[in-house]
Amino acid sequence: MAVSTVVRTSIQKCILIICGELAEIISDEMTREKRCWVRNWLSRRGSHGASATLLRELAKEDLSEYKNCMSMSKQQFEILLKQISLKVTKSDTIMRAAIPARIKLEITLSYLATGNSYRTLQRLFRVSRPAISKFIPEVCDAIYETVKEYIKACCALHNWMRITSSNNYTPSGTLDEEDIDSGPVRQGSWRDEINETLPSIGTVGSNHSSNLAREKRDRICRYFNSEGAVPWQERMIF
């Protein structure tokens, strides 16, 4: 048998094998169960999510609790929403509708106010965790761009009061002050009022740590405030 015939036969066999493998792959893809693109319960955020249910009820019936949830009044929320809407609103696609700016802001404020996990926010507002993790930084940036002039105003007021009402606003010696001429920082009297270098964090509404975590933290605190103390630790903390 000629060499060319052997080569041709070998190539034909290889082609048949490859075609058979491709046919199996195509068959598997066609019969494979399609992955859910959108979870059904998430798609009902417009009727069952916290934005459409709980927060809407609180805005009408309990403004105090609404303020606790959003850390601002209903009127303040609407003003902020109007200012950032264009910055955070996306266009709808063929596959799905974009998440409204209102829901994005509600989720972001809820996250900042409570520290709830993305999973908890996902269940509450019926918005996927990947989407939440993406738009929260975007909303925070939009908020900063919107209120940065107010922040500057607060800083200007602070500086003005330090100059015009320093005896009442920031009495001399109360806060740390830098010697403009020589450079060293003069420590304020507040340092003498601290009983422990690492004071107890206590319990507040936004703490979500377990009792075991707090106990470990307090045990480490006691150690470094007693026999475990090192000469440089206060300098590093303050």
Burial of 75 (0-12, 13-18, 19+ CB in 10 A): exposed
* Beta strand ranges found along the chain (DSSP E): 177-178, 185-186
100 pLDDT above the threshold of 80: yes
Q: Under the phi-then-psi rule, with left for phi > 0, alpha for psi from -120 to 50, and beta for the rest, what region is 126?
A: left
CB crowding 146-168: b at 16 or more within 10 Å, else e: eeeeeeeeeeeeeeeeeeeeeee
Q: How confident is the model at residue 34 (pLDDT cuts 50, 70, 90)?
A: low
Global pTM value: 0.58
- Let me know: does 69 contact 105? Beta carbons within 8 Å: no
Tokens 């990947």 belong to 130
Task: Tell me how many degrees the CA angle 222-227-228 measures, rounded to the nearest 5.
Answer: 75
63 pLDDT above the threshold of 60: yes
Q: Under the phi-then-psi rule, with left for phi > 0, alpha for psi from -120 to 50, and beta for the rest, what region is 78?
A: alpha
- Let me know: does 103 contact 125? Beta carbons within 8 Å: yes
What does pLDDT average to over the chain?
A: 81
Q: How far apart are CA 178 and CA 184, in angstroms?
A: 6
Domain residue extents for the chain: 46-149
48 pLDDT above the threshold of 80: yes
Q: How confident is the model at residue 84 (pLDDT cuts 50, 70, 90)?
A: very high
Nearest to 59 by CA among 37, 81, 51: 51
Q: How confident is the model at residue 199 (pLDDT cuts 50, 70, 90)?
A: low
Question: What's the chain's Rg over C-alpha atoms?
Answer: 31
Residue bearing the bigger pLDDT, 183 or 93 = 93
- pLDDT at position 204: 55
Name the 3-class secondary structure at 121: helix
